Amino acid sequence: MPKNYIFKEKDCINKILDLSKKDATLFYFPDKDTYHIEKLILPESLRIIDSNSFRSTNIEEIVVNDIAVIDIAAFNMSNLKTIDLKRCNLIRLSMDCFSGSAIENITLPDNLSAIGFTVFEDCKNLKNIDIPDSVEIIGEGAFKNCKNLETIHLPKNLNAIERFTFQFCSKLKNLDIPENVRTIDAGAFDGCISLDKICLPKNLELINLSCFNGTSLSEIHYSGNKKDLIEALNNFCIKNNITLKIDNLDYMINNLKDFSFKDINKVYKDNSER
């Protein structure tokens, strides 16, 4: 059985609390109201931050060593602003673990493979985040309603952008979608009112075009040559007065003879790299 460290009243006197030498593998903080800690250094032996451990707490900075599990809603609605997970052997961020928190600065570990549902939902102070290339899955609503998110590096191994991933990220302007992404689901960018341009990868197989509802798109760049996808994008762009930029227009004309461009009024070939 893991050893559970629980805060005691005497722990809650100082603004900085160093528990690095305490012996614990599981951590839970049951009392949210009777303390004034601003910075907490967790035990070096700690491996699991239990569900709801720091929910609604006022701690602004937490220092960790080698965490393996951050459980559901661990920092939900907390005042946490800074955490560095770089040294952690952390494979997955569990659902809601930072949702609604005051997080501003977070460094993720290089071995992280999955970000769960709504992990950063309602993190209104988060302006930018670099997701390591090891991440293959970002769950539904992971960054939903991050109203100040301006830039995000998406990992090269990402294979899908799920429903509502960036919904209502109103300051997100441009986004480079990795070449490995095959699907973009409904509502992915819904309400991203500052989103002006987006580049769709050549390996894209399926896109629900309602993903762009409520955006300010002026240009969609598609580097692939899938006929059905180009037709769907073309119709969508004509209807919404958006420029569709196609890299492989020559390929479409020469190899897909039955492809009709008669209604295209804004499709053009990208010669910038030729």
Nearest-angstrom CA–CA distance, 171 and 117: 21
pLDDT of residue 246: 85
Nearest-angstrom CA–CA distance, 245 and 91: 38
pLDDT of residue 265: 42
Residues of the chain with pLDDT under 70: 1-13, 28-35, 248-274
pLDDT of residue 150: 95
pLDDT of residue 272: 46
pLDDT of residue 231: 85
Model pTM score: 0.88
Domain limits of the chain? 220-274
pLDDT of residue 121: 98
pLDDT of residue 251: 58
Q: Are 35 and 11 in contact (CB under 8 A)?
A: yes
Least Cα distance to 123 among 152, 108, 153, 102 occurs for 102
Least Cα distance to 58 among 37, 82, 72, 83 occurs for 37
pLDDT in tens, 17-37: 888 988 877 776 655 654 678
